Structure 1
Amino acid sequence: MDDENMPIGRLEIAGFDVSNLLWELDDIEQAVRELALYSPFREHFKEALELANYATSFWLEDGRYPDRAGSVVATMFRLRDEIEEHASYADAASLPSVIRRFHSIDRNAADSQLVATYTLVQSIQAVQVLANWLFETELYVFDLDADLIAQMQVTDPKKYCALAEKERLKDPGGEIDARESFRTFMGNADKAIMLASLYRQVEDIDVSRGNFNVASFLNEALSKAFSAKASQRGAAAGKANRKPESVKQQNAADLRERVCKAADRHILANPTISERELKKALVEQEGIASEPTVKKYLIMGGYLPR
């Protein structure tokens, strides 16, 4: 497997399994756009995904990602909890050295690329925590009448969204937690992208020249880190992340098929199996996917309610 195609481990956003952050940011954006309650949080997702796209642009070389990029991104995502813990005790400017303490991370990566990757990981976690809360809120609507709700999604999407909004209002505490977690991750990401911009400019400037002005350099770097142009560059860089949509669709279809086949096996072995037991078997025993995803495909396949 090429380094750039290394899987990042388990990541699910709004019911979609993500395997590669360098190539699937467009797919993540599409997944959150399909959420019933996407509109009220449009700017949140836009902010996080633009920052994620901008972070990946630090890896672009002549319009493509070097092979080592995928390895670094995948490794840092898998080690995200450990890196965050070490970073919390260190000075912000020492983030590259904190990351390099983990021996499995490629030593050839530039400081700016490592810090930008940290930005990517933080911003994607921000998307995940908000999207998954919305996705799980939406799933509760199906408890009313799965068949009727599934039909309503297609025939009366406005009414379906209204039901999802009603469900959202039942758990204000859950929304507060999701929003606070989102802001925490985005705060970390914002600080990191500023540092990444600083490190990249240091890497690009020959400080031995007599005309190097530190104050001017810092002002320019800070401006670039948070300017509107940064968002524009991020949106443009995101175009490099596209891959044929059919691949993601095929992955989703394959996962749905796995869920349905596994459900058939368990129902054949125990025709009276309950909804709870069926979901538990597919999630805990077979580890096919998370409970929200399994439940979604069971509903779509007509296995629930039972």
Structure 2
Amino acid sequence: MDDENMPIGRLEIAGLDVSNLLWEQDDIELAVRELALYSPFREHFKEALELANYATSFWLEDGRYPDRAGSVVATVFRLRDEIEDDASCADAGSLPSVIRQTLSIDHDDADSQLVATYALVQSIQAVQVLANWLFETELYVFDLDADLIAQMQATDPKKYSELAEKERLKDPAGEIDARESFRAFMGDADKALMLASLYRQVEDTDVSKGNFKVANFLSEALSKAFSAKASQRGAAAGKANRKPESVKQQDAAKLFERIRSAADRHISANPTISELDLKKALVKKERIASEPTVKKYLILGGYLPR
């Protein structure tokens, strides 16, 4: 398996199975946008996903991610709890060393890349904890009448969202926990990304020059940490992910073709198959992808609504 395609382990966000944090951020965004209660939390998701997008940009080399990047990101995600425990017992500046020791890295990755990867993992966990709480809230709505609710979701999304909102109000403690966890993950992600930006400034600075002053450097580095340059780098990362020849785009095209082929087969066998049954066949029987992904591509292919 190529390093850049190394799976990160078990990660589900709003019903979407995520296998690669470098290439699937657009899919994560689409999945959370489909949540019935996405609108009240739009800014939360935007904040976390923008940070994640910027964090991945630390791996860009000539507009591309090196093969080893996927391996490092996947390993940091799998060992995130161990890294966090070890880092909590050390000073902030030792985070790169903690990550190196935990991962037993045998190649020469920059400190800024390792710390940015940790920021990426924390921001994605922030998205996960908030999105999964909203997703589970929606699942409670289906307890009323699964078929009826599924039909309402497709034909009357406003009414469906109102029902989801009622479920949300039934569990204020759950919302408090989700919000607090989100903010805690984002706090760690913000601090890690600030450190990554500082390390990047250090890596790009020639300290051999006689006019180098630590105080001036720190002042300038801090001002640049979340400057317009950061936004530009984040945009560059997003553009790199959307290149037609990218692995992500190729995989998406293959998945789209699998879903179209399976949908054609089921509709040919049963021309009157309902939208719900078609989605169930592709998700539960054939296990092609999660329901949000299947639904997205069925809509793109013109199979829904039906």
TM-score interval w.r.t. the shorter chain? 0.7 to 0.9
Could you tell me how far 1:225 is from its partner in structure 2?
1.8
Q: Deviations over 1:177-221 (max 9, x none)?
A: 000000010000000011101111111111010121222221222
The alignment's TM-score, normalised by the length of structure 2, stands at: 0.81
Gaps of 5+ in 2: 243-247, 263-279, 295-306
* Contact 2:7 2:19 (C-alpha < 8 Å) held by counterparts: yes
Is 2:45 aligned against 1:45? yes
User: Which residue does the alignment assign to 2:194?
Assistant: 194
- Counterpart AA for 2:225: A
Q: 1-side partners of 2:72 and 2:108: how far apart? A: 10
* Contact 2:76 2:103 (C-alpha < 8 Å) held by counterparts: no
User: Which residue does the alignment assign to 1:11?
Assistant: 11
Q: 2-side partners of 1:43 and 1:49: how far apart? A: 10
1:3-152 equivalences in 2 (<5 Å) = 3-152=3-152
- Counterpart AA for 1:161: S
Q: Deviations over 1:235-293 (max 9, x none)?
A: 3422222333445557889996463269xxxxxxxxxxxxxxxxxxxxxxxxx99xxx7
Q: Deviations over 1:74-115 (max 9, x none)?
A: 111110010011111110111001111124334411100000
RMSD: 2.4
- Identify the range of structure 1 (125-134 vs 248-257) with the bigger mean alpha-carbon deviation: 248-257
* Contact 1:48 1:186 (C-alpha < 8 Å) held by counterparts: yes
User: Which residue does the alignment assign to 1:177?
Assistant: 177
Q: How many residues align?
A: 268
Compared CA separation, residues 238 and 106, structure 1 to 2 (3 A) = farther
User: Which residue does the alignment assign to 2:271?
Assistant: none
Could you tell me how far 1:144 is from its partner in structure 2?
0.9
* Contact 2:63 2:236 (C-alpha < 8 Å) held by counterparts: no
User: Which residue does the alignment assign to 1:269?
Assistant: none
Gaps of 5+ in 1: 263-287, 298-306
Could you tell me how far 1:230 is from its partner in structure 2?
2.4
2:285 aligns with one of 257, 260, 274: 260
The alignment's TM-score, normalised by the length of structure 1, stands at: 0.81
- The alignment partner of 1:226 has SS state of coil
User: Which residue does the alignment assign to 2:203?
Assistant: 203
Q: 1-side partners of 2:20 and 2:9: how far apart? A: 9
Q: Deviations over 1:122-173 (max 9, x none)?
A: 0000000000000000111111111111111111111111111111000000
* Contact 1:27 1:248 (C-alpha < 8 Å) held by counterparts: no
* Contact 2:23 2:241 (C-alpha < 8 Å) held by counterparts: yes
Compared CA separation, residues 250 and 13, structure 1 to 2 (3 A) = farther
Q: Deviations over 1:29-84 (max 9, x none)?
A: 11101111011000000000000010000000000011111110011111001001
Identity of aligned residues (%): 81
Q: 1-side partners of 2:3 and 2:15: how far apart? A: 26
Could you tell me how far 1:222 is from its partner in structure 2?
1.3
- Counterpart AA for 1:239: K
Q: 1-side partners of 2:62 and 2:221: how far apart? A: 23
* Contact 1:50 1:235 (C-alpha < 8 Å) held by counterparts: no
* Contact 2:75 2:103 (C-alpha < 8 Å) held by counterparts: no
